[in-house]
Amino acid sequence: MFELIIRDVVAEDIAAITAIYREAVLHGTASFELDPPDEAEMLMRMEAIKDAGFPYIVGVDDNNTLLGYAYASTFRGRPAYRWCCENSVYIDDKAQGQGVGGQLMAELIARCTKLGFRQMISVIGGAAHIASMRLHEKLGFYHIGKMPATGFKHGKWLDSVFMQLSLGEGADTDPDLDAYPGTLYRQKTKP
């Protein structure tokens, strides 16, 4: 067994992240993309997520081999959704089933909570993606719905499964309307 080291992503991680995501696109259903993006595109996506104030983390072993990555991003672009984020987590095939996803997700949840987000949404590609649903259930996510046959990939129709987790005070209290999580809406002024 190894100790997973979780840290913020750096540009030097993009090659490994691109390789992990490439496998997910080509052989899995976690992403509904059909053509894997190149390193330049993945770097632009990473920078956009970080620039918007969302956490983007990686898990490495003691040899600094990247085993997986996770990030939060905008769930929807309208300002009323600003206390809600969406998560993504991808694990290298060689590290599947070793607890990497759970550790990355636990850290991502903690960071998003600290930033002031109140809800986290997971959109899981394919109702047959049982491992992802179980991981989210272990972390406290609950099923909120399924949209049947929303994607067609690998010669079959795929469902989109939605799961949700309340963060911090969730909906028990109103958010501070002047304290936006992340940086996405900080430049906005109240009407």
How many Cβ atoms sit within 10 Å of the Cβ of residue 113? 18
Tens of pLDDT, residues 146-157 = 999 999 999 999
Domains (range + CATH), the chain: 5-166 (3.40.630.30)
Helix axes 39-51, 14-27, angle to 10 degrees: 110
Report percent pLDDT > 70 for the chain: 93
Dist CA 40 CA 20 (whole Å): 15
Is 167 in contact with 118 (CB distance < 8 Å)? yes
pLDDT, the chain, mean: 91
In this predicted structure, what is the pLDDT of residue 186?
52
- pLDDT tens figures, 28-84: 999 999 999 999 999 999 999 999 999 999 999 999 999 999 999 999 988 888 999
Above 90 in pLDDT, residue 107?
yes
At residue 158, what are phi and psi to the nearest 5 degrees? -125, 140
pLDDT score for 189: 44
